[in-house]
Amino acid sequence: MSKAEKTRQFIIESTAELFNKKGYAGTSLSDISEATGLTKGSIYGNFENKDEVAKEVYLYNARLLQAGVANDLNPEMTSREKLMALLNHYRNSWDAHFSRGGCPIMNTAIESDDTMPFLKTEVKKSFKAWSDKIARIIDEGKSKNEILETINPSDYSYLFIMLIEGGILISKTTDDRNHLFNALDRITKIIDTELIK
């Protein structure tokens, strides 16, 4: 990495939690400067504007989340075990995620919905990638005769995402993780009663 690339990465990593907690609108250039210890000129010497910083920070936060989920998966697992590993990731990482401000995909989706198309585009890609990952597990299960052939992978993958994100939203708002856990339990029931042969 060049010095400029290292500085960019430092800015991204130093402001990742800040943006996730305060959001785009709530994070000022002064906040970025304080978090990094760099001057405003140095920040804008490495990024074109605040939009570019926010986009790169979002991508970094989303990659961290996706990497955490991927680390819990093992190619030798059955389809059910892989789906359960995804759910268990959220069950077991509550404290880590919520201490950093919650789910970066949901946080950014809510804030960017009507006002920031440059971030909304990236969030849409994240939801699509997440859905595709779950759908691949379901498709693989169908090919291995572990999951019912009639199941539509895309429908179920988005249903699972809706339940997880809804559980996170209510849990974070009420400071009660049981709402998320109830959503994860409901997905488990769906997996066992509607998907698995």
Contact yes or no for 67/73 (Cβ under 8 A) = no
The alpha carbon of residue 77 and the mean position of all alpha carbons in its chain are separated, in whole angstroms, by 23
Q: Which residue has the tokens 């405003």?
A: 40
Please list the residues that pair with 196 across neighbouring strands: 147
Q: How far apart, in whole angstroms, are the C-alpha atoms of residue 54 and residue 93?
A: 24
Q: pLDDT tens, 117-161?
A: 999 999 999 999 999 999 999 999 999 999 999 999 999 999 999
Q: Which residue has the tokens 């994240």?
A: 126
pLDDT at res. 124:
95
Contact yes or no for 151/93 (Cβ under 8 A) = no
Best CA proximity match to 89, nearest among 130, 142, 146, 30? 130
The alpha carbon of residue 2 and the mean position of all alpha carbons in its chain are separated, in whole angstroms, by 29
pLDDT at res. 136:
96
Contact yes or no for 142/148 (Cβ under 8 A) = yes
Contact yes or no for 82/73 (Cβ under 8 A) = yes
Q: How far apart, in whole angstroms, are the C-alpha atoms of residue 15 and residue 30?
A: 12
CATH architecture of 58-195: Orthogonal Bundle (1.10)
Domains of the chain: which residue ranges?
Answer: 58-195
Q: pLDDT tens, 32-65?
A: 999 999 999 999 999 999 999 999 999 999 999 8
Cα separations in angstroms, 76 against 72, 80, 84, 145: 12, 11, 14, 15
List phi, psi (to 5°) of 139.
Answer: -60, -45
CA-based end-to-end distance of the chain: 50
Prediction pTM value: 0.90
DSSP 147: B
pLDDT at res. 108:
93
| Average pLDDT of the segment spanning 108-121 | 89
CA-based diameter of the chain, in Å?
A: 60
Q: pLDDT tens, 83-94?
A: 999 999 999 988
